[in-house]
Amino acid sequence: MTGNKDTNGTSTGLDGVGRSLVSAVKKETGSAGLLTEVYRDTFAPAQRLWGEERRRKAAEKIVSRREAEREANLRQHLSQSQCDKETIDVGTAETDELVFKWLDAAQDINPKDQELSAVWQGLLMEIRAGNSKRNMLMKTISALEADEASVILNYSESESKSISSPRSILIKKDSADFITAKKLELKGLLNRKPFLQTRIGMVASFLLAMLILLYASLFMFDGILLPTIFENQADTSAGRAQLRNLIVLSFIGLSSFTMHPIYSSVRRVAEYETTWLFIEIKALGLTQLKKNSGAPT
């Protein structure tokens, strides 16, 4: 509540009704000082208390509504996980502690965020199953946001046959998911690949090596190939120089034609290596999404 000031410049604590009353009296008497003091001393404390009471009731309503929402969230997560809050079975003391942490944190997860909800519901199943990595999963998933869970569950991985080449995902740099990927990188779920280790980089390296090999081969065997193609013209030094220039120009043109789309792809796309945590969370989240949709797992 904002009050006005009396003739001495001090706050009166008057509300709109009080100021109107004082203005009316002042208009008739030419002075409002005495009435202002009487009104302030008599009614202002009660008005302050009334305002505080209104704020307290509003805060209570907000808290009550929020608690009801959290309880509804938890009931839905437990239902999707085929558990009951009162009868949920726990095992060791460590499992008990993780379940209690899950019960408290899952209340703040909106079921409308399907991917994040599926990850949390899948986490409960892993905790109850005694997954040896459940502590790390709990710590990591507790820090996940809805957009991060969406990237984890919706991006397909290219699974390499080689143990030395882990799974990876490609993300466009001009998309919102690229910002999300950077957050996942900070949380240890993704690692940005150096260019030469990316699929595009390996293709570019291979093509460049082939072009260099072709260029070197033409010069190495110019004594055989060039006379055959250009006959007597290749016997003169001027002819050989002209042919070499032709080879150089051809090499530059072919290189530009080949490397331009690769360069464009590098500018548009970033490749990330997925960590074991990313893979674990993806697996439990997708499994739970299938259960929620009724699809066979």
Residue 61 in domain: yes
Q: Token pair for residue 270?
A: 């970033």
Model-level pTM?
A: 0.63
What pLDDT is recorded for position 205? 75
Q: Say yes or no to pLDDT of 179 above 70.
A: yes
Domain hosting residue 48, numbered range: 16-77
Residues 261 and 281 in one domain: no
Nearest Cα to Cα of residue 218 among 204, 234, 203: 234
Is residue 31 assigned to a domain?
A: yes
| Between 243 and 92, residue with greater pLDDT | 92
Tens-place pLDDT, residues 228-257: 555 555 455 666 666 667 767 777 777 667
**Residue 208 pLDDT:** 73
Please report whether residue 109 resides in a domain.
Answer: yes
d(CA 20, CA 17) in angstroms, rounded, equals: 5
- Residue 154 shares a structural domain with residue 283: yes
Question: Out of 4-18, 40-54, 206-220, 265-279, which region has the weakest mean confidence (pLDDT)?
Answer: 4-18
pLDDT tens for 117-163 read: 999 999 998 988 888 899 999 999 999 999 999 999 998 766 544 44
Q: What's residue 190's pLDDT?
A: 94
Q: What's the rounded Cα separation, in Å, for the pair 144 and 171?
A: 19
Residue 142 in any domain: the answer is yes
The pLDDT, as a whole number, for residue 282 is 94
pLDDT the model gives residue 153:
93
Is 74 in contact with 102 (CB distance < 8 Å)? no
Number of domains, the chain? 3
Average pLDDT, integer, range 197-205:
71
Residue 40 maps to a domain: yes
Q: Please give the Cα distance from 20 to 13 (Å, whole number).
A: 13
Please give the pLDDT value at position 84: 62
The confidence score (pLDDT) of residue 56 equals 74
Q: Which residue has the higher pLDDT, 11 or 101?
A: 101
Residue 285 placed within a domain: yes
Q: Give the number of other Cβ atoms within 10 Å of residue 102's Cβ.
A: 25
Q: Residue 274: pLDDT band by 50, 70, 90 thresholds?
A: very high
